[in-house]
Structure 1
Amino acid sequence: MPFGLKNAGAEYQQMVNKVFKDELGGIIEAYIDDMVVKSCTGKEHVQHLNMIFQKMRDVGMRLNPKKSFFCLSSGKFLGYIVSERGIEVHPSKCRAIIDMEAPKTVKEVQELTGRIAALNRFIARSGEVCKPFFQTIKKTKKFEWTSQCQEAFEQIKTYLSNPPIISRPTKGETLYLYVSASAVAVSAALIREEDGVQKPVYFVSKILRDAEERYSTVEKGAFAVLIATRKLRPYFQAHPIKVISDLPLRKVLGNLDVSGRLLKWAVELSEFDISFLPKAAYKGQVLADFVVESTGRSEKRDQEAMWHVHVDGAASERGSGLGIQIKGPKGEVFYYAIHITFPVTNNMVEYEALIAGLRLVEAVGATKVRVYMDSQLVVHQINGQYEVHDPALAKYLEKAKEVLATFEEAMIEHVPRGMNEIADALSKLAKGSDMSSETPITIMEIPEACIAATKPKVLPISAQLEWYTPIWDYLTTGHLPTDKLAARRIKRWAPEFTILEGELLKKGYRKPWLVCVSESQGRKLIDEVHGGICGSHQSPYTVDKRIEREGYFWPTMRKDMIDVVRRCERCQYHSRVSRRPHASLNTIASPWPFDIWGIDILGPFPTARANLRFLIVAVEYFTKWIEAKPLALITSPRVADFVKHNIVYRYGIPHTIISDNDRQFTGAPFQDMCEGFGILSLFSSVSHPQTNGLAEVSNRTILEGLKKKVEGSKGAWPDFLDEILWSYNTTPRTATGRSPFAMVYGMEAVTPMEVVQPTLRTIAYEWTKNNEKKLVELEAIYELREEARVRMAEYQRKMCKNFDKKVAPKHFQPGDWVLRSVEATGKHIGKLDPAWDGPFIVTRSIEGRAYRLQDLAGRDLPNAWNVVHLRKFYK
């Protein structure tokens, strides 16, 4: 086959792959007609050549002696020079860039970037260096070769004047990955070590785009590792990799409480043998042209005077608190737990924590500050990425910007909750009641919101009386409360307690003595046992048993356990979705025929004639009559046309049409048609087809009939549709005791069975008296329908009675906070993904079965959500 043909290269490559299938990737590499036989020693090389030549003889393959070279210690392959030292760039490729003049047009810049792209694996941080080139070729900009472009161009030339040699790792060798994250790009360098000398294996770089540029520094570092695994997958599969970085990547990627993005990355990275080491733990020499961890040395010098503040807020019905951790430029650390006594929402308390932290660090004279918090909403609102709809939050935003403006340099960065643990713990401490002055942490109180006063007051918090104080006083001093009932209760209760080595102990039934703790200490114990380092978010009963077994006591143990576990956010988001009904059955009764129709769409089916793939089905609620039509497209105009021709023009204008929330029914053409005819269009709850139950049952009947009819000829399903509809409409329904045909026309249809085996009415048929008998039947149609209506009402009553036995009632009021089932939104749920999202606020109840919701930013959610897809959120 001559190589001038278009498919010659592909055919030849296929032939080479087939002939040398056992040797490819081992002793031979081949790309079309460029083949290399490789060996470690000269003796092995002769043996390998003998094997290859024998296979060539077997298939009749010939070599061109003028283009063949043997026993070379180095050689050119695919534009690279391969030798025992490693892989080198061919000098001609470097010379093509070094001798190139500064580009003057967009096309010349594209030629430059193309030449650099061919050498990407040899260039460290190529994405960051080449970023100015890509800025010049954007279509939205006029071409301009800037000073930054010229500087990057000279930097590339200098680098390629002495390019690195890529080393080949040995089987099973441990490799090292250095990551770099800047404002515009992430990069990685895969390194191997040989005799104490580091040698590069591969350089990877990626320019950040849009949302990627807004990642935090830690997220960029994790993203660099992810990009390296995708680009260098064979290396990661064949070698253990050690990631060298000062960023806390191991902690972030190993924490299941991180954001969804980091969690997905962690799952993707889990298939590889990756470990993380700090730079201090690895004593090797880092490559000089890659030692940039974040943004450069100048930025690090600026950060020497930078103050770092971690803030967090915790709101609950029992109280709210702020946690603040301040780190000074010389390593000093301050901790603050601030209790707030006014009501706040979760977002308001985050703003309070931010503003309080800024004021505290301002008080010590800081001029440069970097704030870390785990509230995405607050961070993105301050950075202008999110809009503010809540008037209260708008005031907080204005106040926060006012305080930020007092600093020379102020930055706010979002971090995962796992990197904000200390501030989170301080906020939870502040909202509790165990706030004695002996606590080593600075405890304060803010009596009013920062947006309500020009200068908030900070007061020391007072200690509270614990439950065991009267018992302690009675056992040590004999003092009793002045209230007689309280004194009698202490006297009766005191014999169960004793004091041993300064601790109050209570007699136990299973353990000799139980240590008495305060309610706030007890809640900390519950938090630790339930969700601490040894906790696995177990049930209140299990937590209760563990704490009792450890020997602790306070009077409200069980109530506190239920309350703490019920309010655990992780447990709420990952709780199982109950399949039990939560509201009594609500039946739909039609007062007369053709008044209420349910409509739904089935499909896609196998493509039939005329590209028919869908089936639109309408069922009438009184007679149970079905109309159906196959469609190629299910657009809103086609659905409206079906209703007009198959319902309105045949049976009159209905009062109501019930459908789901698909765009075909919510679209303007369908809604305009309903409005024009005066038809009331109602929608079922999202992901709750039982609301339009009759249509769903009809769909199931049609689908089952088609499955049994079509057998092997699945593309012929429209041809069997009329038979299925005829069978359904002439079969008596359980609810009415009559067939839909009889309910519509007042008499039963003549079926094929009566033609094969004549019945009395077909035998005694007289065509002259047929019209008279029809009139008699029509006179009785009203009685027939009335009997069917009574029978249907009784059938629905029994059905409701049986259904309601399984109901576990659940009700919400406007203002309640709820979670929504992720499954109901149609999103895919992974093994480790939460089953619920939110929280949302209930704005309106629809007959106690469905609810309208809005998010915490005040935006209304489209459509109503059935109670079965909601659960109460405990703040």
Structure 2
Amino acid sequence: MSSPKKKKNVQSLNEKLVALTRFLSKAAERSLPFFSTLKNCAKRSHFKWTKEAEKAFQEMKALLKNFPTLTSPIAGETLILYLAIAREAFSSVLIAERDGVQTPIYFVSKAPTGSELNYRPIEKFVYALVLLRRLRRYFQAHPIVIQKKVTPSAPELWELYTDGASVPEGAEYEALLAGVRLAKKIGVKKIQAYKVLVEQIFKKSIEPSQLTAVIDEAEHCWMTNIIEFLKMGSLPENDKEAKKIRVKAPMYDLHDDVLYRKSYLGLTFRCVGPKQAEKIIVKVHAGACALHSSFRTVAEKIKRLGYYWLGMYNDAAEKIRVCQECQLHAPISKAPRHQMIPITPPWPFCKWAIDIVGAFPSGSKSADYLVVDIDFFTKWVEAKSLNKITSKKVGDFF
């Protein structure tokens, strides 16, 4: 396989390497030189194949020639998980050791982007473990031994600030030395110290707010049976209700006597009772900076705030329906309340419409008015001019 010469060739190469990620060790770290050639390459003429990319390409070819053989784990076998953390990539491999020989099972690799580049080492290890959610079936069926490795990089610059405004003379130097000792203890290699003058304020400018009482829910609500089952394993006497609780319980978690609802994305929502739900709906719908949105928007916003209860949409709709501000400022509908039903005549000349038009300017015959008659069925029109409107003349018209 020859080296890529065009931007399209590099894009095709990256797509193929992504498909082989789980079979290659440190695939993301090895592919970084290829991605760097695509940066600032909006036009074909801007493409440039660098020496680093060529070196990485040759190393990738050598790796593919000696492609590692993956194995499947044996039931109950202890597996080893290696985590390699570098600034450019997070890599991990799940290994089975048999007769002193380590054989890979699964490779996982990812290049950090955005704020992930600024993670501390411990945060990078935690994030690397989060990326291993696809290996959940291995973690549930086998004991795992984790081995970690940090790739050394350039020493990071730390900043140390000391305050010498409100301490006796010379004490700020003791604080500086204490900060240096602490930095040395945690392994800091480069440090820059600053002295900050801070004015000490003895009088509080803001009074502490009083804590409002927690809303007491009713003794029995929709959470009671689920909490009792998760806490004590008790179920209702009704078999149908007991079956419902067994089915719903895995979707909830109890922590410090507070019930949480699990979501499909791994997030948890705090469960609340009817009284708390009513206050939450009012705050979100008509509180500070509220928009008096529809019940669907209010329910979705409550979910984003981290709350959940059964019948969220119905409760929000009922509460918003009686909102006084929404009724005052709602658009007025001019449509009829009921559907209009036309009344059609059954046969010609069964129903007539009569109208009198006038008075018009006087003519030669002094006819100032006009009597018009229309048949509803055939739309037949009859008209006659009159100089005076009387019952006799109108009767003569018919």
* Pair in the same fold by TM > 0.5: no
Normalised TM-score (structure 2): 0.45
Which structure has the larger Rg?
2
Which structure ranks higher in relative contact order (CA pairs < 8 Å, sequence separation ≥ 6)? 2
Which protein has the bigger helix share? 1
